[in-house]
Every structure is written in C-alpha cells, then in structure tokens.
Structure 1
Amino acid sequence: MIWDCEGYRLGHEVKEEMTVKRTIRIAFARIQQESNEFSTVESTIEDFERTHYMEGNVLLEAIKPTGKEAEGFMKNAELSGFYKGIQEKNSEAQIEIVPLFSAWAVSGGPLSAETQSLFENRLMSKLKDAGPIDGVFFTMHGALRATGIPNPEERYLQKIKEVVGANTPIAVTLDLHAHLRGDLVELTDVLCAYRTNPHRDHAKVGARAAKILVDVILGKTKVAKTWRYLPMILGGGSTIDFLPTMLPVFRKLKKIEEDPRVLYVSLFMVHPFLNSPDLGWAVHVMTQNDVQLADQLADDIANLAWDVRHKMPPEFDPPDRALAKVRKNKMARKLGTICLCDTSDAVGAGGTGENTHLLAYLLTHAKDLLSYVPVRGPQVFEQLVNTKVGAQVSVTVGGYLQPDINPEVAVAGRLTYNQATKAFGQVAVVDAGHVQLVITEGAPLAFKPEFYENVGLSVWKADMVVTKGFFPPRIFFALHSRKTLNVATKGITDLDLYKTLDFDGPVHPIKALPGWRKADAERRQANPK
C-alpha cells in the first residue's frame, strides 16, 4: 500500500522484498611443477600433456564431485577443492567460475624457455577470451624454474595482472616446499600452502583459498599479510608432518587458526634442489586486517621452525647395508615386501628416473632375492619397436639423459610387457630372473603398487620393490610393505647437494647461526628486531 506525504491512501501495490545477490566471475587455472636444477633434462609441454593437461569444459567437469581431477594420481586436488569452496559460498553471491587450463607435470628439470613462453602466452590469451573477471584462482608449486628466465611463477602472476588489472585479487595455492620470496608475496592477495607432508590436503587447501578469495572480492575480508625468511635449508628431521619433530609445529599452526582473526598461516620447508642464492625456509601469515597480529604470529611460527633446525634428516643406507637389512628381515618378506626408496633418484623431487646405481648393485649382489626395479630409458624403445613380447632381449639403460651421473648398465632377459601408457609413455618389462626391470619412456613415478601391478608384477611376490620417492611410497605401499628403507647411492636428489650451491649469505647447516632475524630483515629489506 502506498501513501502520500499527507497520509492519504493512493492505492495498493504488491511489493516483494528481494535480496539481490551480487554476480561475480572467477577464472581458475593451474601451472604446476617442482623443478630440480641439478637436472640437465629440460621439461617441455609434452611432459605436462603426458601427465595432466585439461582446459575449458573438460577441466570444469573434471573438478566436479563426479569427475576425476588428476586421473591416475588423485581424484581430488586443489581445483576440486576450489570448486567445493565456491559451492559453499554460492549463498552469498552468484558466482560464475571460468575454466582456463590446468597443466601439471611430474617433478623434473627446469622448463624449456619455449615452454615457459607458451604458458605465459596461453595464460594471457585464455584470460582475455574469458571477458570481465572479478578474481583469479591460480594453483602452482612455488619451486618452478625455467631455463634462462628468472622467477617464472612470478611472471605468471604479472601476466595475469596485465590482463585483469592490478586491483583484481589473485588467490594462489602452493606446495609447502615452495621457495617463498617477496615478489610472490606482493603479487598475491590470498596465499595458502599445503600443511601435510607427504601431501594429502590438496583439495582442503584449495577450498579454503577459494572461500577467502570470494570474501575478498565481496569486500567482507581485508587481508593483512606478512612473511618471514629463515636462513636454513635442512632441519625438522624427516619433515613428515605426523612424526615427532614436525608434529608439534603443525599442530600449533592449526591451533593458531582457531582465532577468528586469523585467515591462514603457512610454513614452507623449501625444496633444496634449486640453485638460488636466497634459498631458505619461510613463513606466511594472513589475518583479518590486523597487521600487528600478523607480524606477531609470523615471528612465533618462525621461532618454532628455527627451534627444529638442528634435527637433521635421518641417515640413509648405502646399498650394501640396505641389502643386509632386507636379508635379515625374513618375516617382512614373507608377509609382504620391503620398499627400497631410491633417494638419489627421487622422481617426486625432480630425479630423472634414469639412475642405474641401485639397479647395478641388485643385479650383482642380490641374486637370491626377487627385486622389482624401475628405470627411465627412452632410448630402449627404438630397439624394441619390432620385438614381440616373449622374445629374449638385451638392453642397455642409463648413460643417455645424464650420462655423467647415470652409467650404462646392460640387462638381458625375456620381454614380458611392452605397451604405451598415458602416464609414463611406452613401458616395457624385462624379466632378468631375480630382477624384474620396468623400463619407462617418461619419468617412472613408482609411488603406488599399481605401477608394478599394471604391468603384471604382483607386489606380494617380490622380496624388494624399488620406488622413486622420499615420502609418498610410505603411504601408498602401506598395505604391502612391511619395512621401508631409504637407500642412497649418487644422484641429483642427494640431500647434501646444497653444499655445492652459492648462497648470498650464511645459512644453516653450512654455518652455525645465532638466530634468523638478521637474515630475515636483510631479505625483506626491513629493520632487524
């Protein structure tokens, strides 16, 4: 009913009070790989296409609850979490999500300059085609390098801003082994890292970052952020989040976030296989517009991390000592298998997968035990192109990708498998009796029992299975493995390689340091406290 200013009734009108939700558009993308700068094998677009590459509606369907974001590796990762987080915020705004592309590759050598340029151009092109955008959600690793191009990930963020504008908020998810630097902090509005190692919270982190991003776009949240640099390369023991050294630290991070003023806190235990003079651990804190609280918490978390610096990684076994332990553990072999983690060729940390040292040792010294061993040997498949399964073959592996590190090893046996796969390229199995050799065209990410089971090798029957990683095999082989041994030979993922790097200041454990604040102040160009 409508009334005039003197109180006379003018007539009736049906009036509905409606809450009009704001419409916002968020673009999302991924360029994700962890680089190993001790590798001379460049990563190319083909490495991403082999592992995981999607764009447009195919990507959108893959991150929905009914899809598989990274088939063969994990069902849900950061972008699935992003989708879930957006769905949970739909009551607050009309949100349209715009898929760009998702490129994810197994850890490897630095990107080729051509691949870096391709990604930059594709990112800008897809964003321009997307139309007006209110925010960008971007997943990356934080330890990506490109040949001859400094700071490739920061360049992606700069390219995004060139298209969407400097004031359009960007949310980024990072691996906790990222190399955090000031430029990356400044270029992002929301920054969230994994809090598990081995990593298993990809989707959870994506969801949290997405929800914070929406609140920033809607003006409900104003982020106050800060970071700290720690002059340390190693420490924290094994750095596994649920083992004694780091468990109290990660529990404290979770406790800190119970304060509603705190948006997210991250601890970065840096990837040590980068040739960067400013390498080190780092802390990042976001609060609800409370700079003082952010600074206080960043200092507190930095102190927690600094306090575990003297707890070094466990000593790894050389092959002879590892083999002695395998022989001694007869019951473990009877009830399951024993995992040998080839820590000198950890594909999950950028190893090429071509390292032959452990293979050579097992061929010679473990003839009484059944071993499954993976190795990368793209050159072998030219020789096998016309060879039928069942034939006797003689192949040479090693000495191809990095011959100065991985010597040639000759293996003779019966070819029992030879097929093309999406994840690893061509795969062949040579039965050499006590060694079942799995040869792959791409990097052999032998993290799961399926790596062997899919080529006809029952993990239950093996005395030993060689895996190419530090942490994931401990989770994925838990059902089969009764003991896990870290074995070190010589390769590009040896933990002591940091000693060969040139740093721009003293770092632990190369030099004993009384504290972290002086190095942090210099790094952030702030005044020492």
Structure 2
Amino acid sequence: MIPLMRIVLLLLFGITAFAQPRPLIGLGGIVHETNTFNPKKTTLADFATGIGGADGILRGKDVIELSTKANNTTAGFIYGAAKYGLDLYPTIIAGPQTMGTVLDSAFETLSAELIDRLRQAPKLDGILLFLHGAMVTESHPHADAEVVRRVRKAFGDTIPIVVVHDFHANISEEIVKLTTVLLTYKECPHLDARDAGVHAARIMADIVSGKVKPVQALVKPPMLLNILYHNTYAPPLLPITSESKRLEKNPNILAASVAGGYQYADVPAMGPSVVVVTDNDPALARREAERLGEMLWGMRSQMLLKAPAPAEAVRLAMTNGEWPVALMDAGDNIGGGSAGDSTFILTELLKQKASGWVVTISDPAAVQAALRAGVGGTFDMPVGGKTDNLHGDSVRIKGRVKGIHDGRFVEPAVRHGGGRYWDMGVSAVIEVEGSTPDMPNLLLLTPKRIIPFSLHQLISVGIYPERMKILVAKGTIAPRAAYEPVAAKIIEVDSGGVTGVNPARFDYKHIRPNLFGIK
C-alpha cells in the first residue's frame, strides 16, 4: 500500500514529486576569436560590449533568459538540456567582437569568475562550455585549453566536460586531452550554432546516464585551409562536411567535427583539424579522423588563392549585367578582427564612377558630423581609414544626410552564428554626391563595428538591397547566409588589411613549419 502522505503528495504535486533528481550541468563560456595581427588588444570593456553591440556579458539567470530566443550555441544548450532531461546551472557567457590579443587582465578576471560561479553550484554532474577555439591571450597561445585546464583543476579529472567550438577553431592536442568531448560547428556560414549546442547537451545526457563512454582522436593536416574556401555549402568543403554528418549516423560515433581553423591567429595550432568522438572505440575514432584528414589533404590543390583585387572586383561588379553584386571585403572582415573602416573598395567605386552602391563604414567622428548636419543637411568630411594605417586612407565624401537612425535591428531568420538582436549605435545614411534618384550611392556610417550578418542592418535604415547594384559587405564567407538570397553574384575581394586572404602578406612566427598554402 502507498502511505497516505505519499498519496497526498502525488495528488498535490504529481508523480514527478518522486522522480529521480535531474543531472545538474554547469553552463558557461568565454568566446573570443583572436586576430593576433590586429594591434588593438582586447580589453575587459570590449567583452562587455558583446558581438552585436547589444549582448554584453551575460551572467546567471540572464544567460538563460536572454539566450532562449536566439539561434546561437547557448540557446542550443538550453533547448538540448530541456529535451534530454538536464538541469542547467548558468554562470557566465562573455563574447566580444573579434579583435587583437586578449589582455591577461581580462582573461584572468573572466576565467576566475567562470570558475567561482561554477563552484557556487550544488554538486555538478557535468559542465557544458562554449569556447570559440581561437582565443589567444598575452600569456596563452591556446587560451581555450587554458580555460578547460583551470576548470578541470577545480573540479577534478572525472567530471564530464563537453566543449563546443566554432568552425574557425585552432584545435590543439592539449584541449582534446582535457575535454571529455570536443565538437565544433559543421557549417560556415554558421547556421548550425544552435544545433551544435543541442548535440553537446545530448551527448552530456548520455554520459551522465552511463550510456556512453567517449574517447576522441585529433588529426591536423599540415596545411592552411584558406578562409576563401570555408564555405561548407559548396565544393571543395561540401563533400567533407557531408561525410562528417554521415559518420554521425553510426551509433558508435558520437561526433565527427571538421574545423577550418583560423588563419589570423599566429599560434602553433593554427590550421584545420578533425576530431572524431566514439563510444569507447579509440581505434574507430583514430581511423575515421585520419580518413577525414586525408580527404582534406587531398583537396589542398583546390584551395589555392584566387580572388580579384579591389579594382578588378569593382570592374567585374559594374559589368556583370545582373545585379545586385555583393563584394565581400575580405581584408576588412569585421568578424575576423578588422577595423571596419577600410576604404580600398570605396576608393575604387568612386574612381571608376560606379553607381547604385552601398558601403558601410565604422567611423564615430563621421557619424557625429552627420548628426550635427541633420537630415537633409550637407555632409563634407574625410571618412574611414582612421583606425590604423592598414586599411587605406581616409576618403573625402561630399553629399547630404539622407537619414539618421537608432541603429537597432532584429534578424528573425537563422544567420551566421545565430545572433538576433543587434545595435550599431546611432547611425547615419549619406547620399553621396553624384547620386541619381533611381540609382543612389549610399554610405552607412556607424559608430560601432558591426559584422554584416543580416540584411536588416541595411533594411532598418531604409536601404533595400535588392534595389542596389553593388553591395559591399565587410566579411568573407559569413555574410553569404544573408546576402545570397538577394545577390545575383558574390565576389570575394583580395583587399588589404588584417584579415586579407593572402597569407604571404602576414609575418607568421609561431605556426608549424612548412604548412601547405602559406606561401
């Protein structure tokens, strides 16, 4: 017979009152892609601004409340935990724009807070971490591994630690040894950021239930996988991406990841990686990792540098015959750590008298000048090329202030990285001298560097991309998810800057010797 008190509890609270407690999983992340060629160091204040200008550092319950509606990795952790019966203990998620080397002081502050918050939890059964995989600090060339090392030291060798990396991770043997499971996004543009979080939560549930015992193997082909070829939705990478997904249909293979690497971090681990995780079958993990690595190596001759310089790219766009044409300003790839104020393509558009173009430039001083002039007022001042001497000279722009906007916009669809809420800061649209009513030349001036992952960046300020002839996006592959639906053609441009696609322009000192594709 069921005791009377238990019957009362069942009636009051349902049968879950006597269910086994759900596993408690710590959740956190320090997410930074570090461009070591960018001279501007990344500070703690930079982390606080967030990637979209609106996120900042999320702590405690805000990690859950402000991430649930997003399409990013944290949202995937949250959904996956609910789906697979895990309770989450959120700590901190910190992720700024890609910039230069992270100051040790910022890293020490954030990593200490992460561990302190994890320690405040009741007994944890596991830890889910979102770490980009290409973070570099003044003292740690593979800072992601250092984060895991510190977490491991604090919580011991037996607690499961499952890490999700970005596709652009530079993966070392050290972090593979420190983690229970390491997996990455499979896609670039990163439309599967949320899926990766769900995948990690599912594996964690299987680990803590005793269903699986993960082992993993790392293979690193001795090559540079140039960012020009990081589009996983087209050859040459598409077959490898498809094969990694096919492998995961094998119940003994828990995860199969192919990371493209991040060529703007001058560190020993720079370059592509393959990580295969199996259920207690190290031979299978090694065999399949080596096979995927051989597939990558076999495609190396298809991944050599092929991209026009700005002058040729503008000429091609003007004569294409179908528009709009999207020019990817690879040398000023904001998502890769550039200034956001390069003028190389803008200079060519003016020089070649192109029409119907739109360029976005991050220039706080120019924004202030536009605000002083007001809507309809005259604009006349140098624009861009102010952050450093690597992204072109300032260009004198004459025109009128067409509009002033608050700079906030929302991306409702799944785009690169899964961000939804964005804030450029108060921004101005300049109609450049020489425009015509049916074919304007437009300059969007923003005070913040905002990665061009959403067409709503333009639409929100009254610019309709499908009506333009030439769209300039400061990125390489990532903006494709937003721009492909409207662009008749996309051209990656070999423009100068700290994210240029030609590795011969970079003075590498710490990468592995004799990597294919560097020279």
- Same topology, TM > 0.5: yes
AA partner of residue 38 (structure 2):
S
- 1:385 and 1:130, CA in 2 relative to 1: closer, same or farther beyond 3 A? farther
Secondary structure at 2:514's aligned position in 1?
coil
- 1:381 and 1:326, CA in 2 relative to 1: closer, same or farther beyond 3 A? closer
The within-5 A match list for 1:175-194 is 175-194=166-185
- Please say if 1:346 is aligned against 2:333: yes
Does the aligned pair in 1 maintain the 2:219–2:289 contact within 8 Å? yes
Aligned residue for 1:262? Answer: 253
Does the aligned pair in 2 maintain the 1:447–1:468 contact within 8 Å? no
Aligned residue for 1:400? Answer: 386
Does the aligned pair in 2 maintain the 1:236–1:313 contact within 8 Å? no
- 1:418 and 1:122, CA in 2 relative to 1: closer, same or farther beyond 3 A? farther
Aligned residue for 2:476? Answer: 470
Shift of 1:161: 2.6
- Hey, what's the Cα distance between the residues in 2 that align with 1:89 and 1:277? 37
AA partner of residue 342 (structure 2):
N
The within-5 A match list for 1:511-526 is none
- Please say if 1:496 is aligned against 2:502: yes
Aligned residue for 2:513? Answer: 505
Aligned residue for 1:411? Answer: 397
Give the unaligned 5+ runs of structure 2. 408-421, 436-440
Secondary structure at 1:283's aligned position in 2?
strand
- Partner of residue 370 from structure 1, selected from 353, 356, 372: 356
Aligned residue for 1:44? Answer: 43
Shift of 1:235: 6.0
Number of residue pairs aligned between Structure 1 and Structure 2: 481
- Please say if 1:131 is aligned against 2:122: yes
- Hey, what's the Cα distance between the residues in 1 that align with 2:449 and 2:515? 32
Deviations 1:421-465 (A, max 9, x none): 362233222221343111222213223221111112222332111
Deviations 1:42-77 (A, max 9, x none): 23344443332322223212344xxx23xxxxxx11
Secondary structure at 1:311's aligned position in 2?
helix
Shift of 1:109: 2.2
Aligned residue for 1:457? Answer: 463
The within-5 A match list for 1:223-242 is 223-234=214-225, 238-242=229-233
- Hey, what's the Cα distance between the residues in 1 that align with 2:402 and 2:113? 42
Aligned residue for 1:24? Answer: 23
Does the aligned pair in 2 maintain the 1:264–1:286 contact within 8 Å? yes
| 463-472 or 122-131, which deviates more | 122-131
AA partner of residue 302 (structure 1):
G
Shift of 1:355: 0.9
AA partner of residue 341 (structure 2):
E
Shift of 1:314: 5.7
AA partner of residue 25 (structure 1):
L
Deviations 1:355-413 (A, max 9, x none): 1111112122225x121111111333454564423221222223432124432222122
Secondary structure at 2:471's aligned position in 1?
strand
Does the aligned pair in 2 maintain the 1:270–1:279 contact within 8 Å? yes
- 1:326 and 1:404, CA in 2 relative to 1: closer, same or farther beyond 3 A? closer
The within-5 A match list for 1:108-123 is 108-123=99-114
- Hey, what's the Cα distance between the residues in 2 that align with 1:394 and 1:303? 56
Deviations 1:90-132 (A, max 9, x none): 2xxxx32111122233322222333222211221232233332
The within-5 A match list for 1:385-396 is 386-396=372-382
AA partner of residue 61 (structure 2):
N
Does the aligned pair in 1 maintain the 2:339–2:391 contact within 8 Å? no
- 1:32 and 1:340, CA in 2 relative to 1: closer, same or farther beyond 3 A? same
AA partner of residue 479 (structure 2):
P
Does the aligned pair in 2 maintain the 1:235–1:308 contact within 8 Å? no
TM-score w.r.t. structure 2 length?
0.86
The within-5 A match list for 1:204-283 is 204-234=195-225, 238-283=229-274
- Hey, what's the Cα distance between the residues in 2 that align with 1:472 and 1:152? 24
Secondary structure at 1:240's aligned position in 2?
coil
Shift of 1:148: 4.4
Secondary structure at 2:116's aligned position in 1?
helix
- Hey, what's the Cα distance between the residues in 1 that align with 2:218 and 2:499? 28
Alpha-carbon RMSD: 2.6
AA partner of residue 115 (structure 2):
M
Aligned residue for 1:60? Answer: 64
AA partner of residue 77 (structure 2):
F
- Hey, what's the Cα distance between the residues in 2 that align with 1:278 and 1:311? 22
Shift of 1:278: 4.1
Does the aligned pair in 1 maintain the 2:332–2:391 contact within 8 Å? no
- Hey, what's the Cα distance between the residues in 1 that align with 2:128 and 2:40? 30
- Hey, what's the Cα distance between the residues in 1 that align with 2:140 and 2:305? 35
Secondary structure at 2:40's aligned position in 1?
coil
- Hey, what's the Cα distance between the residues in 2 that align with 1:31 and 1:417? 37
Aligned residue for 1:448? Answer: 454
- Hey, what's the Cα distance between the residues in 1 that align with 2:213 and 2:493? 48
Secondary structure at 1:495's aligned position in 2?
coil
- 1:455 and 1:276, CA in 2 relative to 1: closer, same or farther beyond 3 A? same
Does the aligned pair in 2 maintain the 1:235–1:310 contact within 8 Å? no
| 406-415 or 199-208, which deviates more | 406-415
Shift of 1:163: 3.4
- Hey, what's the Cα distance between the residues in 2 that align with 1:509 and 1:131? 49
Does the aligned pair in 2 maintain the 1:238–1:314 contact within 8 Å? no
- 1:224 and 1:447, CA in 2 relative to 1: closer, same or farther beyond 3 A? closer
Deviations 1:300-332 (A, max 9, x none): 1111111111112562122332232223233x2
Does the aligned pair in 1 maintain the 2:31–2:135 contact within 8 Å? yes
TM-score w.r.t. structure 1 length?
0.84
Does the aligned pair in 1 maintain the 2:43–2:106 contact within 8 Å? yes
- Hey, what's the Cα distance between the residues in 2 that align with 1:236 and 1:361? 24
- 1:384 and 1:114, CA in 2 relative to 1: closer, same or farther beyond 3 A? farther
- Please say if 1:296 is aligned against 2:287: yes
Shift of 1:180: 0.4
- Aligned-pair identity in percent equals 25
Aligned residue for 2:73? Answer: 78
- Partner of residue 358 from structure 1, selected from 342, 345, 361: 345
Shift of 1:22: 4.5
Secondary structure at 1:375's aligned position in 2?
strand
Aligned residue for 1:163? Answer: 154
Shift of 1:142: 0.4
- 1:237 and 1:390, CA in 2 relative to 1: closer, same or farther beyond 3 A? closer
Secondary structure at 1:116's aligned position in 2?
helix
- Partner of residue 436 from structure 1, selected from 434, 439, 442: 442
Deviations 1:128-151 (A, max 9, x none): 333322211111210112234433
Does the aligned pair in 2 maintain the 1:356–1:409 contact within 8 Å? yes
Aligned residue for 2:411? Answer: none
Task: State which structure, 1 or 2, has the greater radius of gyration over its C-alpha atoms.
Answer: 1
Shift of 1:179: 0.3
Does the aligned pair in 2 maintain the 1:124–1:163 contact within 8 Å? yes
- 1:145 and 1:455, CA in 2 relative to 1: closer, same or farther beyond 3 A? same
Does the aligned pair in 2 maintain the 1:237–1:245 contact within 8 Å? no
- Please say if 1:141 is aligned against 2:132: yes
- 1:172 and 1:346, CA in 2 relative to 1: closer, same or farther beyond 3 A? same
Does the aligned pair in 1 maintain the 2:132–2:169 contact within 8 Å? yes
- Hey, what's the Cα distance between the residues in 2 that align with 1:313 and 1:324? 23
